[in-house]
Structure 1
Amino acid sequence: MCMTHKQLLTIDDLTTSDVLDIIEVADLLEKHRRRFGYLPALLRGKCLGMIFDETSLRTRTAFERAIGDLGGQAIHYNGAEARVGRHAAKTEHLPDFVKVAGGFNDVLLSRIYDFATQEQICALSPVPFINGMCDEHHPTQALCDFLTIKRQFGAVEGINIAFVGDGTNIALSLAQTAAKVGARFTCATPEKFALPADQTAHLAGFTATTDAEAAVKDAHVVVADAWIPMNKALEAELRREVLAPYRVTPALMTQARTDAVFLHNLPAYRGDEVVPEVIDGPQSVIYDEAVARLHIARALLLYCLRPDWADLVAAANAGTTEAFDRHLDEIAARSASRSLS
């Protein structure tokens, strides 16, 4: 673990306060943007380097837009250009790439499927690092899901979350986040696709089950993820057969609270993990959830890059949106003054 700058390799890199502060700042920044039509250029002159060995719609768009909203810019490297990741025809010595990319950029975001490679990039990076997704963890998605939950229910503590299907990276990052903020997380999977016990046994509020209906009973939030990961296409029919009892249907949703919402990180495969009547129905908030990734991206970049992050947190805790706006303007004015001096 790097001790000289901030990182988000897994949710375990954040404290409970970090998680709650990032969510709160993300929410208030978006409210500020809606009221005034812009955000202060708190990251003017900063550059985000993004490394993807898979195509990306939501993560890339969210982080490119986020740093642009705050006055910075982004550079995108695909796996072939960076010569890292599983699709690189010819690989480069990883430390060489990371050190050079870190020299060009102020923060790195990497979306490489192999967690061990992500760990190496994080350890080698001379600048802050964000895990944009890998096979074991998806921390940025978990944060945007909890922002969505907060907006729906006004709080995250005490919320009952049910994850149904394959025990994916989404499930693990959500379980870790739930444990930090005092939410309850029940993961319903076939035994074959359960989350590893060594990664969940210590998590407060975590329950594993093979019973989808029991998991969803009285849930505020029902979450699903794709059944056929990118690296499991050859197992598609077997996975569909084993996971069929975990499909989210209107009948399953009746076990949840009447005000329950449905989340899915997308892309979704209607007819597999969820039926159209649910994902396209009134309980689905998947599009709000998707856009929340932009709001979390802004807050994460500020968390990584602003030395006065604590001042932003204090502004967020000032009590009203008007007070936050006032404090935000003061922080922006100080930044502008320093850049001119």
Structure 2
Amino acid sequence: MTERHVISLTDLTDEDVHSVVVRGARFAEGRGADGAPLAGTVTGILFRRTSTRTRTAFSAGAQRLGGGVVVFRPEELQLATGETAADTGAVLAGMLDVLVARTADDEAEMREWAALGGMSVVNAMSEQEHPTQGLADLTTLYRRFGAVEGLRVLYVGEGNNTAAALALGLTRFRDVHLHLATPPGYGLAAATATRAAKQAASCGSTFTEGQSLRDVPEGVDVIYTTRWQTTGTTKDDPDWRRSFEPFQVTAGLWRASPDALFMHDLPAHRGDEVTADVLDGDRSIAFEQAENKMWSAMAVLEWCVRGVVERRGA
């Protein structure tokens, strides 16, 4: 059996992305949890950085699907005493079916563990990308609009790992229009932007970037932002806030898009990236979006272990 991994959304085919999104929505609607599809499997949860939504989503999701869960605190593992990541991964691969990890700044460690074989590896956020957030966002859009195709989305703020996942995920759907408005010097990584643009072109969609809120598209369906200081990161420029202040999401953005819903991956800092009246207003679905992380996590886990379950049932 070849293990399935979600280290980047680029690891999934278009069909995979679409099926995980639909499956997450079905779990949310109570139509997907027939029996215990994760029965007999064990999911490990390893977070070296803080987490509320992602950690809880995968822990609760695995248990709701009948699977076992082992939660590791980094200081409790022998990694803290000098054991190599490769040795730790080899041990875990012999005991777990899935490892959900938020580890170092990049994906190299997770790629190393995935290469060992024996368990699926899920990236619960790296410096480059937050793929499970992207899948949860797509699930939220699907549930709210009945389809992802044809949506117009405006993202405001840093081109961080959440923005990368949104770009790599949303551009896999047809007739989508995604525009990123980012502060100068804080745009999406060039390789990610290039890939998103190519994906969009192949789907009859558009992907654009700008460095101002003056020329953003009107009549969008969704306005999305994230916190200005991504978890576990710092900025080289001590005056970085000056660059970000013009990109605060305020009620004024709704003059050009009065029907837009507001999304935020949370945690939010009211008064920084978004005003309180927007986050807590009637157009905000940020906390609905947070709940969808669990339903989407369930779909990701089921997708990862499907081969294991089928083999054991044979």
Tell me the CA shift for residue 64 of structure 1.
1.0
AA partner of residue 10 (structure 1): S
CA RMSD of aligned residues (A): 2.4
Alpha-carbon separation, structure 1, partners of 2:42 and 2:192: 34
Paired residues of 1:216 and 1:253 also in contact (CA < 8 A): no
Paired residues of 1:163 and 1:186 also in contact (CA < 8 A): yes
1:94 matched to 2:108? The reply is no
Please identify which structure carries the higher helix content. 1
Unaligned runs of 5+ in 2: 201-205
AA partner of residue 195 (structure 2): H
Paired residues of 1:216 and 1:252 also in contact (CA < 8 A): no
Paired residues of 1:262 and 1:284 also in contact (CA < 8 A): yes
Tell me the CA shift for residue 10 of structure 1.
0.5
Alpha-carbon separation, structure 2, partners of 1:236 and 1:254: 33
Tell me the CA shift for residue 122 of structure 1.
2.8
AA partner of residue 220 (structure 2): A
1:140 matched to 2:138? The reply is no
Tell me the CA shift for residue 230 of structure 1.
3.6
Tell me the CA shift for residue 300 of structure 1.
0.8
1:246 matched to 2:237? The reply is no
Alpha-carbon separation, structure 1, partners of 2:238 and 2:225: 18
Aligned twin of 1:267: 267
Aligned twin of 1:167: 159
Paired residues of 1:46 and 1:72 also in contact (CA < 8 A): yes
Alignment of 1:1-341 (within 5 A): 4-32=2-30, 39-84=34-79, 88=80, 90-115=81-106, 116-182=108-174, 183-203=176-196, 204=200, 205-233=206-234, 238-256=239-257, 258-307=258-307, 338=313
Paired residues of 1:132 and 1:139 also in contact (CA < 8 A): yes
Tell me the CA shift for residue 30 of structure 1.
2.5
AA partner of residue 285 (structure 2): V
AA partner of residue 27 (structure 1): A
> SS at 2:253's partner residue?
helix
AA partner of residue 120 (structure 1): E
Tell me the CA shift for residue 83 of structure 1.
5.0
Paired residues of 2:28 and 2:292 also in contact (CA < 8 A): no
AA partner of residue 165 (structure 1): G
Alpha-carbon separation, structure 2, partners of 1:234 and 1:184: 29
Tell me the CA shift for residue 196 of structure 1.
1.8
Alpha-carbon separation, structure 2, partners of 1:64 and 1:27: 18
AA partner of residue 212 (structure 1): L
Paired residues of 1:184 and 1:206 also in contact (CA < 8 A): yes
Tell me the CA shift for residue 121 of structure 1.
2.8
Question: Over residues 177-217 of structure 1, what are the superposed CA-to-partner deviations in whole Å (9 max), with x where a residue is unaligned?
Answer: 11111322111112210112222123222111012243352
Paired residues of 2:3 and 2:117 also in contact (CA < 8 A): no
Paired residues of 2:93 and 2:116 also in contact (CA < 8 A): no
AA partner of residue 139 (structure 2): L
Aligned twin of 1:314: none
Paired residues of 2:98 and 2:304 also in contact (CA < 8 A): yes
Equivalent pairs counted in the alignment come to 304
AA partner of residue 284 (structure 1): S
Alpha-carbon separation, structure 2, partners of 1:166 and 1:222: 14
Unaligned runs of 5+ in 1: 310-330
Normalising by structure 2, we get a TM-score of 0.90
> Alpha carbons of 1:240 and 1:83: their partners in 2 closer, same or farther (altered >3 Å)?
farther
> Alpha carbons of 1:308 and 1:239: their partners in 2 closer, same or farther (altered >3 Å)?
same
Alpha-carbon separation, structure 2, partners of 1:127 and 1:308: 10
Aligned-residue sequence identity (percent) comes to 32
Paired residues of 1:156 and 1:181 also in contact (CA < 8 A): yes
Alpha-carbon separation, structure 1, partners of 2:96 and 2:65: 16
Alpha-carbon separation, structure 2, partners of 1:202 and 1:54: 28
Question: Over residues 204-237 of structure 1, what are the superposed CA-to-partner deviations in whole Å (9 max), with x where a residue is unaligned?
Answer: 2211101224335221111111111244457686
> SS at 1:223's partner residue?
strand
> SS at 2:192's partner residue?
helix
Normalising by structure 1, we get a TM-score of 0.83
Alpha-carbon separation, structure 1, partners of 2:222 and 2:104: 27
